[in-house]
Amino acid sequence: MIAAATYSTSDPNAQNSYQALCQKVTANLDGQPGTQQITDIEASLANAQTASANATTLNTQTQNTLQDMLQGIEGVDQNKIGVEILTLQNNLSASMSVTARLAQISLVNYLSAPTAA
């Protein structure tokens, strides 16, 4: 548009006309205030793609972790668990028996116990 305009050196308004044309062209190339520029849209898209890729990676890691946990739960030998529970029950029963005997001990019972001499 600037190349299509010609200005005469003898025209006293040529300088002002040229400056006005330059301002119009610059304003049109810069875009209207308040509108998005292509570079802004590109940056927004790049940020959205990065966030999406990060979310995908995090979801994949979480899924792998949960699958490992599930495999650890499902892969347990039922007989082994039964034996461990039975052992814990026996230990608890023995501890309770000893605790009950200790609760019955008193100085009177100790002193009145028959002595074998």
Any domain includes 100? yes
Name which of 80, 17, 26 is nearest 6 in CA terms. Answer: 17
Which tokens go with 80? 């082994």
**Domain extent at residue 96:** 77-111
Predicted confidence (pLDDT) per residue in 23-50, tens digit: 887 777 766 667 777 888 899 999 999 9
Looking up tokens 């019955």, which residue turns up? 104
Any domain includes 70? no
Any domain includes 86? yes
The verdict on pTM exceeding 0.75 is no
Write down the pLDDT at residue 36.
Answer: 76
Any domain includes 88? yes
> What share of residues in the chain are helix, strand, coil (percent, to 5)?
75, 0, 25
Number of domains in the chain: 1
Half-sphere exposure of 113 (CA within 13 A, CB side): 8
Write down the pLDDT at residue 47.
Answer: 95
Question: Average pLDDT of 74-85?
Answer: 88
Instruction: Please report, to the nearest 10 degrees, the dihedral formed by the alpha carbons of residues 27, 31, 33, 35 taken in order.
Output: 170
Any domain includes 35? no
Any domain includes 107? yes
Any domain includes 13? no
Any domain includes 3? no
Question: Average pLDDT of 84-89?
Answer: 96
